[in-house]
Structure 1
Amino acid sequence: MPTQPAYLTIRPALKLAALLALLGQVWLQPALAQAAPGTEIETLSDRVMFVVSGGFWEGLPNEQDGGAAPADGAAPDSVPAAGAAQAEPAPATGAAADTEPAPEVLTMQKGYYRIAAVRAQDNHSLFYLQQVALGEDGPDVVMSMEIAELSDLKGYVTDIRPEDSSGSASQPGFAAYVHMKPDLETVEPETWSVLIDDLGDITVSRADN
Structure 2
Amino acid sequence: MMKTLLTIAFLAASSYCVQAQTTGIEALPTSTIFVASSGMWEQDALPQKESQQNAAGTRGYYKIAAMRQADGTAKIYLQRIAYTADGPQLVETVELEEFAQMKAYVTDVRPESSNGASDLPGLFVTVHLKTDPKQKEADAWTVLIDELGDMKIEKASN
The two structures have a TM-score, normalised by structure 1, of 0.64
User: 1:43 deviation in Å?
Assistant: 2.4
Task: Provide the residue aligned with 1:53 in structure 2.
Answer: 37
User: 1:111 deviation in Å?
Assistant: 0.8
Give the structure with the larger strand fraction: 2
- Aligned identity (percent) is 38
User: 1:41 deviation in Å?
Assistant: 2.2
Size of the aligned set, in residue pairs, is 154
d(CA) in 2 for partners of 1:61, 1:34: 44
Deviations 1:71-105 (A, max 9, x none): xxxxxxxxxxxxxxxxxxxxxxxxxxxxxxx8743
SS at match of 1:157: strand
What is the letter of the counterpart of residue 207 of structure 1?
A
Say if 2:93 is the partner of 1:109: no
Instruction: State the 4+ residue runs in structure 1 displaced beyond 3 angstroms.
Output: 21-29, 60-63
Task: Provide the residue aligned with 1:145 in structure 2.
Answer: 94
Match of 2:103 among 144, 154, 170: 154
Is the Cα–Cα contact under 8 Å of residues 46 and 57 in structure 2 kept in the other structure?
A: no
Say if 2:12 is the partner of 1:38: no
Instruction: Give the direction of change, closer, same or farther, for the CA distance of 1:43–1:62 in structure 2 (3 Å limit).
Output: farther
Once the two structures are overlaid, the 10-residue window that deviates more, 165-174 or 186-195, is 165-174
Once the two structures are overlaid, the 10-residue window that deviates more, 178-187 or 158-167, is 158-167
Give the 5 Å matches for 1:164-183: 164-183=113-132
d(CA) in 2 for partners of 1:57, 1:35: 36
Tell me the C-alpha RMSD between the 2 structures. Answer: 2.7
Structure 1, unaligned runs of 5 or more: 1-15, 64-101
Q: Who wins on radius of gyration, i.e. which is larger? A: 1
User: 1:29 deviation in Å?
Assistant: 3.2
The two structures have a TM-score, normalised by structure 2, of 0.83
d(CA) in 1 for partners of 2:42, 2:62: 11
Task: Provide the residue aligned with 2:135 in structure 1.
Answer: 186
Instruction: Give the direction of change, closer, same or farther, for the CA distance of 1:168–1:30 in structure 2 (3 Å limit).
Output: closer
What is the letter of the counterpart of residue 32 of structure 1?
S
Structure 2, unaligned runs of 5 or more: none
SS at match of 2:135: coil
d(CA) in 1 for partners of 2:88, 2:109: 22
